[in-house]
Amino acid sequence: MASTGITTFPADIPNWNNLSVIHQNTLPPRASFLPYHNEQDALSHEISKAQVQSLSGTWKFKLANSPFEAPEDFQLPEHDVSDWAPIQVPGMWQLQGHGKGPQYTNVIFPFPVDPPNVPFDNNETGSYVRTFTVPESFRGQQQRLRFEGVDSAFNVWVNGKHVGYSQGARNPSEFDISNVVDVNGENTLAVQVYQWCDGSYIEDQDQWWLSGIFRDVALVAFPKVHIQDFHIQTLLDDKYQDAVLSVDVELSSSAKVQLNLRDNDNGIVASASESSDGSRVEFRVPIKNPHKWTAETPYLYHLSLSVDDCSIASYVGFRKLELRDGLFLVNGKRIVFRGVNRHEHHPSSGRTVPLEFLEKDLLLMKSHNINAIRTSHQPSDPRLYDLADKLGLWIMDEADVECHGFSHVDDTALDEEQKKLSFEEKKALTYGRAARWTSDNPAWEESYVDRAKQLVMRDKNHASVIMWSLGNEAFYGCNFQKMYDWIKSYDQTRLVHYEGDTHAQTVDVYSRMYPQISWIIDFATKEEKWEKPLILCEFVHAMGNGPGAIKEYIDAFYKYPRLQGGFVWEWANHGLKTKAATGEEFYGYGGDFGDTPNDGNFVMDGLLFSDHTPTPGLIEYKKAIEPVQVIGGSYNEVEIINRYDFATLDHLQGKWSIVGDRYEELGGDISITEGIQPGQTAKLAIPFTAIDSVPAGAVLQVTFTLKESTLWAEAGHEIAWGQIELKPAASLESLTPPSSTCPTLTQKLPTLLSISSASSAWEFNLVTGSLSSWKKGKSEIIHTAPVMDFYRAQTDNDLPQDGAEWEEKHLEQTKEHTRKVSWGTSGTYVTVTVEKRIAPPVLEWSVDTTTTYTFGETS
Strands (E), 83-152: 85-89, 103-105, 125-133, 142-147, 150-151
Helix (H, G, I), strand (E, B) or coil at 850: strand
pLDDT at 735: 67
Measured between alpha carbons, how far apart are the two ends of the chain, in Å?
110
Residue type, 130: R
Residue-wise DSSP of 347-404:
TTTBT---HHHHHHHHHHHHHTT--EEE-TTS---HHHHHHHHHHT-EEEEE-S-B-T
CATH number of 227-319: 2.60.40.10
For residue 343, give the DSSP letter: -
Catalytic residue, candidates 148, 174, 473, 857: 473
Domain 15-222 is of which CATH architecture? Sandwich (2.60)
Within 10 Å of residue 185's Cβ, how many Cβ atoms? 10
**Calpha distance 830→809 (Å, rounded):** 38
CA angle 324, 325, 329 (to 5 degrees): 40
Over the stretch 751-801, which tens digit does the pLDDT of each residue have? 999 999 988 999 999 999 999 999 998 899 998 888 888 888 888 888 877
The answer to whether the beta carbons of residues 39 and 66 sit under 8 Å apart is no
Helix 382-391 with 355-367: angle, nearest 10 deg: 30
DSSP 553: H
**Quick one: CA dihedral 556, 561, 567, 569, positive or negative?**
negative
Q: Specify the domain boundaries for CATH 3.20.20.80 within the chain.
A: 323-403+438-578
Q: What angle do CA 48, 51, 55 make, to 5 degrees?
A: 75
Distant-in-sequence, close-in-space partners of 701: CB < 8 Å, separation ≥ 6: 656, 657, 658, 659, 721, 722, 723
CATH 2.60.120.260 occupies which residues in the chain? 15-222
In sequence order, which residues have a C-beta less than 8 Å from that of residue 710 and are 6 or more positions away?
none
**DSSP for 603-669?**
G---SB-TTSPBPHHHHHHHHHT-SEEEEEEETTEEEEEE--SS--STTEEEEEEEEETTEEEEEEE
- Span 623-679, pLDDT tens digits: 999 999 999 999 999 999 999 999 999 999 999 999 988 777 778 999 999 999 999
The single residue of 148, 203, 398, 538 carrying the catalytic annotation is 538
pLDDT of res. 2: 58
Residue (of 64, 55, 68, 100) closest to 85 by Cα position: 64
Residue whose C-alpha is closest to residue 484's, from 466, 505, 464: 505
Q: Other CB atoms closer than 10 Å to residue 577's CB: what's the count?
A: 15
CA dist 720 and 396 (Å) reads 26
- Taking the CB of residue 720, how many other CB atoms lie within 10 A of it? 22
473 is catalytic: yes
Omega within 30 of 0 (cis) for the link into 750: no
Q: What is the CA radius of gyration of the chain?
A: 33
- 538 classed as catalytic: yes
- Residue 224 has what pLDDT? 94
Give the dihedral sign, CA 515/516/520/525: negative
d(CA 623, CA 628): 10
Host H or E run for residue 557: helix 550-559
Within 34-146, where are the H helices? Answer: 39-44
Rounded to whole angstroms, the Cα distance separating 187 from 134 reads: 8
Cα 164 to Cα 268: distance, rounded to the nearest angstrom: 43
Interatomic CA distance for residues 380 and 385, integer angstroms: 8
- Spacing of C-alpha 775 from chain mean position: 54
Q: How far is CA 518 from each of CA 236, 423, 531, 721, rounded to the nearest angstrom?
A: 38, 18, 21, 28
> Contact, 532 vs 326, CB < 8 A?
yes
- The dihedral through the CA atoms of 737, 742, 744, 750 has a sign that is positive
In whole angstroms, how far apart are CA 396 and each of 64, 164, 380, 456?
38, 31, 11, 12
Span 323-403+438-578: which CATH code? 3.20.20.80
Report the distance separating Cα 656 and Cα 635, nearest Å: 10
Res 791: pLDDT = 87
What is d(CA 115, CA 124) in angstroms, rounded to the nearest whole number? 18
In three-state form (DSSP H/G/I as H, E/B as E, the rest C), the secondary structure along 597-614 is CCCHHHHCCCCECCCCCE
Nearest to 569 by CA among 534, 601, 542: 542
The per-residue pLDDT for 3 is 61
Cβ atoms of residues 608 and 572 within 8 Å: yes
DSSP-derived secondary structure letter, 290: P
Portions of the chain given CATH number 2.70.98.10: 737-855
CATH of domain 626-730: 2.60.40.10
Task: Give me the CATH topology for the region 737-855.
Answer: Beta-galactosidase; Chain A, domain 5 (2.70.98)
Name residues of the chain where pLDDT drops below 50.
none
Contact (CB, 8 A) for 393 and 366: yes
At a CB cut-off of 8 Å and minimum separation 6, what does 574 contact?
Answer: 104, 207, 208, 343, 345, 589, 603, 604, 606, 610
For 395, list phi and psi in degrees, rounded to 5.
-120, 120
